[in-house]
Chains A and B, each alone.
Chain A
Amino acid sequence: MAKAINLSLRDALTRDENVLIFGEDVGALGGVFRITDGLQKAFGEERVFDTPLAESTIIGVAVGLALRGFRPVPEIQFDGFIYPAFEQIVSHVAKYRNRSGISLPITIRVPFGGNIGAVEHHSESPEAYFAHTAGLKVVTPSTPGDAYALLQAAIDDPDPVIFFEPKARYYLKEEIDPTARVPLGKARVAHEGSSVSVIAYGPTVSIALQAAKTAAAEQISIEVIDLRSLSPLDMDTVMASVRKTHRAVVVHEAPVFCGFGAEVAARISHDGFDLLEAPVTRVGGLNVPYPPARYEKLYLPDADRILQAADAVLAYG
């Protein structure tokens, strides 16, 4: 996935001379995850450059650059460090068009999620705060192919987009087709099934797929939906699945309490009230600050917990 994102950025820089990439350590180092490796060398310091250590102003200057006619693609180095930029994102990036009529075609890239054995602040899942903010679009790929295509779509979109990259999947390998198009706002069926719909995004998609595989051996047919886009949210794909299975489980790393899953669950319950044979169930993090690394596997959803939830919804008869 890291290479797919790198290629996507490279192609974006080539296609549009107004695309700029900047952030901490993205230049000479090529990014702490090497996502921007080689880009400064290829495109020069005026297209790909390092900034001082100041997340709020990394986003603040992105606003100014966008006003000046550029297509900024700033990077926030880690999920836990997006918070200093929260004000600029929520008070300005999200609201600029509403205030002035001017679109800011900014794409903010952020690695997110846990399961990498890191110290504090490096395993956050803050996507709900931003999905909750009108004026922003929020997307997250789960595969290298989608990482390539979704990033293209995000950069091309005239509205601001937050692109959450599941860092635990940076090393996931697959052949990609750079000509494939994935629009913003469209989910995909990652695995077809008929008994339970498991709805996931970002790092939990592969876990859901694992669960589906195990379930199949027990004759339980799980359908996995990869949302890809949190805002806009593709309820059509979700509801088509629930219409088939009558049972839904939503999975994310973020804490269940007030997590993005609550929005999905509420919508399924409302739009599909008469479709349900069991209550919509959410699987996710505990309602605590992300724990020290040794305990993170107890906190994060895994295939077992997804299967447990699937069993529970099937137990409603």
Chain B
Amino acid sequence: MADQTFRLPDLGEGLTEAQLVAWRVEEGARVEVNAPLCDVETAKAVVVIPSPWAGTIQKLHARPGESVAVGEALVTIAAAEGAPAEATPGTLVGYGPGAPESGIRRRARMPVATAETSIDVRAAPFVRQLAKDKGVDLAQVAGTGPGGRITRSDVEAAAATPATTAAATVPSNGGERRISVVGIRKAIARQMVRSVSTIPQFTEFAVFDATNLMAAREKRKASGRPMTPLPYFIEALVKAVRAYPMMNSSWDDARDEIVVKEPIHLGIAVNTSQGLLVPVLRDASTLDLDAIAAQSAQLIEGARAGTLPPSQMSGGTITITNVGASGPVETGTPIINPPECCVVAFGAIKPRPMVVDGQVVARSGAWISISVDHRIVDGAMATEFLTALVAELEKISA
């Protein structure tokens, strides 16, 4: 004799509950199939419920006056032998809106491969796919379609090998020469206009004493591991930025917020035949000097060869640039790479007259200029940061 529990069915096509009016049996009573068990009142009618099984009433699960939900236990019966087994249990018992399911279900939700979206770039789906296939970073492509939309031909032009910058020259016309602006030239133009028109930027200048830096370089060169100044600049910059994290941030105009970024992704401005490109050294603060040297060299080489994928050409948080590796030019006023807060420009290291202990001597030195977003950083902090950077550079040990 197995105990079976009879649950309240949906008696009227969509009911959710019924109120027990009265029991017609007691616990312990023997019942046959269809014997009246109880009266219930639904939203539609008062209904007598007959017993689904023959057997002995074990437990009545509700009291008169109580509300019973569809699917809730009504009565447990110790069923007599031979009670027919349900082939499809639960198919209809409590069929109503809150009822247990029929036993067939759809597969649970599975993860879907995320599609990349770049919301700020106006290009049709086909053009996006084409750019992806060709490894073109749409953010770097200037759109020639209506309203600046990037078209299929823009992507194809960008994908074509260098010499697309100041490319097609139109035949001369009365002393004028017109150069069609496409591709990277156009992208740079757009970025620079965006920078100066949206970011109130100011520039500060400093000179640092490179004597220790050069000594360190000599020592490495002697041991057969030469290194350009750039990795030293980068390492010092990273340390200074860690002390002044505001330099590694962005102004969010839409939300009136400053977004301070934790990782330092350093954009390295590289002059290439296609124009100025800025590959990004990711997580610079996790790298030691050798790693910085190796990776930055790779980036520079890749940028010049045009082989870097879009992921290495974007996502920078602060930018470093060189102003003349040699020659008479000392420094300049760099323009911030939006949406960053700061750009740092290094001049050439060369012998300069400096005053040491009251005497004018010749020592290695270089100019540093930083341009900074005045919405985020005021002059005082800029000065402190620049001072810290100079200090880092001057205390480089061999």
Using a CB–CB cutoff of 8 Å, the interface residues on chain A facing chain B are 246, 273-278, 315-317
Interface residues of B in 113-129 (CB under 8 A from A): 124-129
Q: Which residues of A contact B144 (CB under 8 A)?
A: 317
Give a binary string over B5-30; 1 marks a CB under 8 Å from any A CB, 0 the rest: 00000000000000000000000000
A316 to B129, CA, bound (A): 16
**Chain B residue at minimal CB-CB distance from A278:** B124
The reply to whether A276 and B149 contact each other, CB–CB distance below 8 Å, is no
Q: Are B149 and A316 in contact (CB under 8 A)?
A: yes
Cβ contacts A to B, 30 pairs, < 8 Å: A246-B126, A273-B125, A274-B125, A274-B126, A274-B128, A274-B129, A275-B125, A275-B126, A276-B124, A276-B125, A276-B126, A277-B125, A277-B126, A277-B127, A277-B151, A277-B152, A278-B124, A315-B146, A316-B124, A316-B145, A316-B146, A316-B149, A317-B124, A317-B143, A317-B144, A317-B145, A317-B146, A317-B149, A317-B151, A317-B152
Question: Taking chain A's interface residues, is the majority helix, strand, or loop, or is none over half, making it mixed?
Answer: loop
Chain A residues within 8 Å of B127, by CB:
277
Interface centre among A273, A275, A277 (most CB of B within 10 A): A277
Residues of B in contact (CB 8 Å), total 13
Give the complex CA separation of A316 and B125 in angstroms.
Answer: 12
Residues of B within 8 A of A316 (CB): 124, 145-146, 149
Interface residues of B (CB under 8 A from A): 124-129, 143-146, 149, 151-152
**CB closest residue in chain A, given B129:** A274
- Find chain A residues with CB under 8 A from B125 CB: 273-277
Residue of A273, A274, A315, A317 ringed by the most chain B CB atoms within 10 A: A317
In angstroms, how far is the closest chain A Cβ from the Cβ of B341?
35
- Cα A315 to Cα B145 in complex, Å, equals 8
**Min C-beta distance of A3 to chain B, whole Å:** 45
CB pair A277–B124 under 8 Å, yes or no, is yes
Which of chain B's residues have a CB closer than 8 A to the CB of A276?
Answer: 124-126
List of B residues within 8 angstroms of A246 by Cβ:
126
Which of A246, A273, A274, A275 has the most chain B CB atoms closer than 10 A to its own CB? A274
Q: How near does chain A come to B372, taking the closest CB pair, in angstroms?
A: 38
Q: With the chains together, A277 CA to B150 CA distance in Å?
A: 10
Contacts A274-B129, A315-B146 known; list 19 others, CB within 8 Å: A273-B125, A274-B125, A274-B126, A274-B128, A275-B125, A275-B126, A276-B125, A277-B125, A277-B127, A277-B151, A278-B124, A316-B145, A316-B146, A316-B149, A317-B124, A317-B143, A317-B144, A317-B149, A317-B152
Name the CB-closest residue of A to B127: A277
B147: nearest chain-A partner, CB-CB? A317
What are the residues of chain B within 8 A of A275 when measuring CB–CB?
A: 125-126
